[in-house]
Chain A
Amino acid sequence: MQTTVFEQVKETVYHETLANGLKVFLVPKQGFSKTYAVFTTRYGSIDSHFRTRSGEEINVPDGIAHFLEHKMFEKKDRDVMHEFSKNGASCNAFTSFNRTAYLFSCTDKLDQNLNLLLDYVQEPYFTDASVEKEKGIIGQEITMYDDNPDWKVYMNLLKAMYQKYPINIEIAGTIETISHITKEYLYQCYETFYHPANMLLLVVGSFDPEAVMKLIQKNQGGKDFPPAPQITRIFPEEPPAPAQHRVEANLAVGLPKCMIGIKEKENGLTAEALLKRDLTTKLLLDIVFGSSSSAYEKLYDSGLITENFDFDYSCEQDYAYSIFGGDTPDPDQLVETIKTIIEEWKQKGIDQDDFERAKRKKIGNFMRGLNSVEFIANQFTQFKFNGNDLFSVVPVLESITREDVEKRMREHFQLDQMAVSIVRSAAQQE
């Protein structure tokens, strides 16, 4: 077992790659009551076109990664959720564009819960009847998202930005696409993506790292796995330009919702370069649109935005985009004003004071995140999959200069890369 100490934030990470390829990371947190464990596979909704273990190229129905996540909880002779309840643990799982995570938190019986987590995720059991039954439940989950205007405006923006890359597809699929899911498809996906070598186990909280590592080694040592498959994911070539510049939809809302996205033209960064781009762009957005910016003041005072105005940057090896927006009485006016603001910033450049303030704020916010076992658990794996360390955020942030942000602004703020998504009530239609 190896140890990495992060001095500034006073955190220590214990880690090891097991013989079967599983990467294990342990982050003990002094004085905390609960422990949180996350078992994640690098497999999400975008991985729908790939080669199976036998080399066959297949396309699987949209929404299958999420469906598979649901079905992992059902076993022949027991119900996983009930087992966790018996141990007093609270369990959950989620599927995103590029990963599926299974997790629990507990304040007692960590050993039993960890074994349970490892065992249920490594023991698929799918039947025709249970697959059919799940379609009703997931159907209601999909309908719930269909009624959620914040989700709708976001998904529509991704569809507008991306012509081919599969982040333009709903994570849960649609009622139609999931109707094609069979247990055979589920097994094919499972065998391709759930090998330990494609997975990462993270435990954060109150425990002794030596003992926990031993328990994990023992659990994994007692199981046989075939050699790790070579995973070949097949992605379409994504053209740089957005698919559409504007999309609209109707749902029952109080005020129209408007989200603006800027799609990154150049991708392919990994590890620290990717992290640096991510943090630099987030600083940029905070300087330009943060609640202490002149743009925010102007937009808020003119009534064009409300307190829920927000912005974010998402950055992966294959795709990256910034989004900003919220509720507005006048989406078109908001879009025009934001375009003007961006042009003005490009004219005048980034101010040193604004830059320093944004950096301080980001460091403070990161520290706050470290109070939360959940925050660490959810962020850590994503960082690792991209070749980074969550606890290196502060030094990387500190290395960023005003000039970096300035340069990033000119690269990223390109109005022809912009797309707009609007959701309003039928009655608010122009």
Chain B
Amino acid sequence: MGTQVHEIAFTSSHINGMNVHILQTEKFKTTTIVTMIEQELSVETVTKTALLAMVMKRATARFKETKRLREYLDFLYGAIFDVDVTKKGERQILQIYMEVPNEKYLAQASTLLEEAIQFVGDMLTRPCVENGAFLPKYVTQEKETLRKRIESLIDDKMKYANQRVTEEMCKDEPFALLVQGRAEDLPGITGEDLYRHFQEITTSNPINLFVVGDVDEQQVKKAIETHIPLQRNAVKELKATSPVKNVEQERTVVDRLDVSQAKLNIGCRTNIAYKDDDYPALLMYNGILGGFPHSKLFVNVREKASLAYYAVSRLESHKGIMMIMSGIEAKKYDQAVEIIKAQMDLMRQGKITEEELSQTRATLTNQFRELLDSARMMIEYTYNGVVSGRQRPLNELLQAFETVTIDEIKRVADKVQIDMIYLLRDKKGEA
């Protein structure tokens, strides 16, 4: 059945001031190239970076018109290309994503990979700039697009509730920021500001470039060296994200909107992050509590009480926040909160059955093994190691699931505190 890979093993090197990670595999019919530029999440730069991502993808020095740039991507057999921002703890990552078919599966396209790398190089080193500024035409339009994107957060009520509870519970921490930035910053940003910011982050911030596909390592390295000639300074040290926060008092926030279903979000501090030794036990804790259809939340909120269609818990591994989410009838709020808290109490008391433990081990192991089938997920996994400062070999993590004990999970449970209970509900009912 061919060679099965059991570990996510990139070969890393240093080229033109970037950390380059290459993974050669015959599994995929495309080649994926992802560049990550990392910076601190901060009020000063969050909107600028989000806007920069959008302006960058409109044009390069070679393709000054967006239409021409997109025609070129189509010509590269519908290359998938995007520049976007994501949040990892209190870091904002500007990500350039590129994916092209592997030449082996195409009749006539022998230089596709090199052209793709050159295109990434255009983005990083040959932007479309005049008089030290990104073109006003694109800056103005993308400000409008970004403003619309920020305003449209409200369309997806689950995401909206999530952002609202994060904003409230992390009020004085950078983590409260929406990764797309703040609409009120937009008018003050100029094309010059953006270009200065672009230069700053491409010369001084950590840059990691990942390539996954059936490629020749030397050929890829050479193409990167030639086509992405970055001028780099000493790489900036970024402030670490702290997952530790002692909650003095549980708080409650209710928002009202024109909705039928109420969204109940409970934001918790786990005080544990990706790099900590307790992290595998935290994954187990979250899995038993609310990660799967066999978990306590699903069984008790949905199956037994019939209160909801979904009742889950999700981890943000860098900031150490666990979010419990459920869609309920507003009038069932008290009952739902009571059931959820009771499940968390059971976790603290170590009331976890052998079956819950073994099911969670098996499903978590499966979830992590599935990463091996996706280029994007393997990159993401490895990059989590880069950002946190601790690389976790996949096998080490899988091994940890096998050996984690109920006592260790109990110890994790003792650290988890509810910080905020948030309800997004209709405008009609009583408070």
Contact = CB atoms under 8 A, between A and B. Distances in A.
Interface of A: 8-10, 28, 30-34, 79, 81-82, 84-91, 105-108, 133-134, 136-138, 140-141, 143-144, 146-150, 206-208, 250-255, 257, 290-292, 294, 297, 300-301, 303, 306-308, 327, 329, 357-358, 360-365, 367-368, 370-373, 425-426
Given A252-B257, A364-B78, A34 B369 contact: yes
A233 to B, nearest CB: 29
Contact of A360 (B5, B77, B355): B77
Interface string B222-234: 0000000000000
Contact of A140 (B106, B144, B329, B359): B329
A351 to B, nearest CB: 12
A88 B366 contact: yes
Interface stretch (B67-75, B89-97, B128-136, B171-179): B67-75
B353 to A, nearest CB: 11
Q: Give the residue among B29, B67, B78, B294 with the most A Cβ atoms within 10 A.
A: B78
Given A30-B1, A89-B366, A365-B78, A292 B307 contact: no
B355 A364 contact: no
Contacts of B373: 32-34, 372-373
Contacts of B189: none
Given A144-B309, A150-B155, A367-B29, 17 more contacts: A30-B27, A31-B1, A34-B372, A85-B359, A86-B362, A90-B367, A108-B369, A141-B309, A144-B327, A208-B1, A254-B151, A291-B70, A297-B66, A300-B141, A303-B141, A362-B78, A364-B76
Nearest to A10: B105
A89 B369 CA distance: 11
Interface residues of B, number: 76
Contacts of A363: 77-78, 101, 106
Contacts of A291: 70
Contacts of A364: 76-79, 100-101
A403 B362 CA distance: 54
A370 B29 contact: yes
Nearest to B6: A33
A255 B148 contact: yes
Contact of A361 (B78, B145, B361): B78
Interface stretch (B191-199, B258-266, B269-277): B258-266
Interface string B145-173: 10011011111110000000000000000
A402 B148 CA distance: 37
Contacts of B3: 31
A147 B261 CA distance: 7
A144 B242 CA distance: 35
Nearest to A368: B30
A291 B66 CA distance: 9
Interface string B259-293: 11100000000000000000000000000000011
9 contacts: A10-B105, A31-B1, A79-B303, A82-B294, A105-B366, A144-B327, A252-B157, A252-B259, A371-B30
Contacts, number: 208
Given A107-B369, A307-B149, A363-B78, A254 B154 contact: yes
B369 to A, nearest CB: 4
Nearest to B368: A107
B399 interface: no
A105 B370 contact: yes
A82 B306 contact: no
Nearest to A106: B366
A371 B105 CA distance: 12
Contacts of A90: 292, 363, 366-367
A306 B293 contact: no
A379 B285 CA distance: 36
A292 B74 contact: yes
B357 to A, nearest CB: 11
A254 B369 CA distance: 39
Nearest to B305: A136
Given A147-B261, A252-B154, A255-B151, A31 B4 contact: yes
A137 B336 CA distance: 14
Contacts of A146: 260-261
B366 to A, nearest CB: 4
Contact of B75 (A106, A360, A425): A360
Nearest to B102: A367
A307 B70 CA distance: 14
A357 B366 contact: no
Nearest to B306: A136
Contacts of B303: 79
Given A91-B293, A143-B327, A149 B155 contact: yes
A375 to B, nearest CB: 11
A297 B59 CA distance: 13
